[in-house]
Structure 1
Amino acid sequence: MTRFIPLALFLVVTVGGGLLIGATNTPGAWYADLAKPPFTPPDWLFAPVWTLLYVAVAVAGWRIWRLSDTRGAMTAWWLQLGLNFLWTPVFFTLQSIGWALVVILALLATVIAFIRLAWDRDRPAALLFLPYAAWVAFATLLTASVWWLN
């Protein structure tokens, strides 16, 4: 039973942190007034998608953390989490689309780095990051499109 305490902590930090960041950095009128590409998802979709992705990110981090000699993968995991949590306040609170694009490009690179570093050590952890990588790639395209249009 105690082996699942670290998993619970990973879930609290990742899901809880993501939900807190989302709740304290809301889109607001500024975002509503931006020109957006036609492939922009409806606002209601983001919270459930991110919640599911945060669960997968937490489980992947926990799986890698349990192994020995995974410093590179864990460094990439923590870096991607920090960049993930940084993007929302940069975009919505600071209203800095250009810097948000820089942040999300770095986030995409660290997500891909984690997948590469975890692939041979714990394939399920790497696979848990594939939907996350796809969503971050889509979010990167969306951010770049909003930057271009505005």
Structure 2
Amino acid sequence: MAQTKLDWRLLPVFIVACLVVSGFGGLFQPGEWYQGLNQAPWTPPSITFPIVWGILYLFIAVAGWLIFARGNRNMRLLWVAQLLVNASWSWVFFGMHQPLIALIDISILTLLVATLIWLSFRSQPALIVTGWLLTPYLVWLLIASSLNAYVVIYN
């Protein structure tokens, strides 16, 4: 099966979409409320989060670009859905101070990303790289879910 040529001019659109989500999340900082919570002993240092998320958003953007170039409609919808659910977590957790609702949010996000990875690995060979790009994101979501769950259980 011949692959469509990738249009590099569209990649910035996906990078900007991820920057917008990142910027929206950045509006809701941990602050005093979060500092006063019982946090998991395995919580990474604060500096870890912007570094990891910066790398992950780049991977998410490239994956989205590949999915929109070569994926099917369901994969495109899943990519958009995960980005929207991703955007809401910081608002719910840090902005609204609702760790339980945030845990539901991140659980849905994890399921969306896992499904997207599964579809990528089952799809055409050109999309296998998408699955690998999204795998670190899934791992980080599992870690973040455990941190969120700890806050729900111990506060």
TM more than 0.5: yes
Q: 1:143 aligns with which of 139, 145, 148?
A: 148
For the 8 Å contact 2:63–2:130, the answer to whether it is kept is yes
Match of 2:84 in 1: 82
For the 8 Å contact 2:21–2:83, the answer to whether it is kept is no
Alignment of 1:6-21 (within 5 A): 6-14=10-18, 16-21=19-24
Q: Give the structure-2-normalised TM-score.
A: 0.91
1:23 equivalent to 2:26? Answer yes
Distance in 2 between the 1:81 and 1:147 partners? Answer: 24
Distance in 2 between the 1:130 and 1:31 partners? Answer: 28
Amino acid at match of 1:127: W
Match of 1:113 in 2: 115
Cα displacement string for residues 36-90 of structure 1 (whole angstroms, at most 9, x for unaligned residues):
110001111100100100000000110111116x111111111111111100000
The answer for unaligned runs of 5 or more in structure 2 is 1-5
> What is the CA-CA distance between 1:18 and the residue it aligns to?
3.3
Identity between Structure 1 and Structure 2 (%):
33
> What is the CA-CA distance between 1:21 and the residue it aligns to?
1.9
Q: 2:69 aligns with which of 62, 66, 70?
A: 66
Q: 2:93 aligns with which of 91, 94, 106?
A: 91
Distance in 2 between the 1:93 and 1:31 partners? Answer: 10
> What is the CA-CA distance between 1:133 and the residue it aligns to?
0.4
Distance in 2 between the 1:10 and 1:62 partners? Answer: 6
* Moved segments of 4+, more than 4 Å: none
Aligned length: 147
RMSD over aligned CA atoms reads 1.3
Match of 1:5 in 2: 9
Distance in 2 between the 1:23 and 1:142 partners? Answer: 18
Match of 1:38 in 2: 41
Distance in 2 between the 1:60 and 1:117 partners? Answer: 12
The answer for unaligned runs of 5 or more in structure 1 is none
